Amino acid sequence: MQTRILGRSGLAVSALGLGCMGLTGAYGPPTEHGSAVALIRDAVAQGVTFFDTAEVYGPYANEELLGEALAPVRDKVVIATKFGFRINAAGQRLWDGLDSRPEHIKAVAEASLKRLRTDVIDLFYQHRVDPAVPIEEVAGAVKDLIQAGKVRHFGLSEAGAATIRRAHAVQPVTALQSEYSLWTRGPEAEILPLLEELGIGLVPYSPLGRGFLAGGMTQGTAFAEGDFRAALPRFAPEARAANQALVALLQTVAARKGATPAQVALAWLLAQKPWIVPIPGTTKAARLSENLGAVALTLDAGDLAGITRAAEAIPVVGARYTEALEQMTGL
């Protein structure tokens, strides 16, 4: 497994991380506990050192799962988790709006440390920007946690350029986590140049388009109960049919390179910048190994230019979120 450094922070992680959200729901029923622990430990055995979770995944169950699975190798891995949502008393994924008040951030950190069975959070992201709390106060709260030895690095998720600059001026931002893939390329225009300027790493979530770019989904694919993709415009049957053109492009390149569409999609992302570290998620051991194989796949300048040019000519059909989900985009 290759290693990458997130920006100029000095935080070294495996070139691909593991997004763990789906192990406790969101894409259908939670994975059986023993199987989920085994998958995480299999990732460690294959060289993954970067694991992504959040208090709202579950809620809480995902951090608890990661804490258990990684306890034997805690000193060898980097754990990223997130704050910023209110979770009401009922729990059960009933998130109750944003809350990045400094006192809330510090309370979340204490609770996450316990669930993760650790004395320090390696990377602590604001899950979504809270318009009710100045970002300087958020950065200041995380700075306090860093000075107290409870957090090592500060991250933001889905933040805009102005917010990133303001936060970075108070406490250096190590990484930005945002959706980025061949079918979600919004960060390229403004965010990537800013991250390069400031020395901030990018951690793309959903780098395989929530599984679509892996090539196993068709217009007729039925989603399991509890799979939130069923509510996303981009996954409506007619959108899936139209978006198969992008999968076909990846399949063509994959056949030429002796790879899979998922590996091509991930290798394309890895080739964009040396400080980009995608975090594909999976619940299946075979998919885990397939995804990690992307690190060894070399796409030359001609391959990259051809993929980029062809992808730009394919209009992606469907919005990322519904208007309602846009207000609760921690998924």
For the annotated catalytic residues, the residue numbers are: 57
- Between CA 3 and CA 42 the distance in angstroms is 18
Backbone angles phi, psi at 243, to 5 degrees: -80, -5
CB 7 within 8 A of CB 199: yes
Residue with tokens 């108070």: 170
Strand 18-19 relative to strand 85-87: parallel, antiparallel, unpaired? unpaired
How many angstroms from the chain centroid is the CA of residue 27?
A: 14
> What's the first-to-final CA gap in the chain, in angstroms?
27
264: number of CA atoms within 13 Å, CB side? 26
Say which residues have a Cβ less than 8 Å from residue 275's Cβ, sequence separation at least 6.
4, 5, 6, 7, 195, 196, 200, 201, 202
Helix and strand counts by DSSP (H, E) for the chain: 11, 11
Contacts of 280 (CB under 8 A, 6+ apart): 16, 18, 19, 207, 208, 262, 266, 291
Place of tokens 């403004």: 190
CA distance 330 to 3: 27
Torsion of CA 108, 112, 114, 118, to 10 degrees: -130
Alpha carbons 205 and 184: distance in angstroms, whole number: 10
Pairing of strands 95-98, 121-126: unpaired
